Amino acid sequence: MGDIRVALDQSCEYLRDAYRCVREARDALDEAVGLLVAASANHPESLVPPEFTKAGELFADELELIVGSIELVQRVAGEL
């Protein structure tokens, strides 16, 4: 039982690390979009690629999935 609990705790830590990485990537994308929006003010069309908007939406989905996974792992650990 101890090995399982250790593995579950380690899984939670990996998921927390993944959450931090995705959040940092989202923040970097937000910063890049902000810079491109500002630069677009001097251009007839937006410099922000449409894929950046889609990526921002996907980051939100991934963060939600990671949080849900952490909650499930913690629930399993609590049931042991």
What are 3-49's pLDDT values in tens digits?
A: 898 999 999 999 999 999 999 999 999 999 999 999 999 889 999 99
Identity of residue 80: L
pLDDT the model gives residue 56: 87
- Tokens standing for 21? 């990485």
The tokens for 52 are 């950046």
Whether 20 and 66 have beta carbons less than 8 Å apart is answered as: no
Contacts of 45 (CB under 8 A, 6+ apart): none
Q: Is 80 exceeded by the pLDDT of residue 1?
A: no
Q: Where are the beta strands (DSSP E) in the chain?
A: none
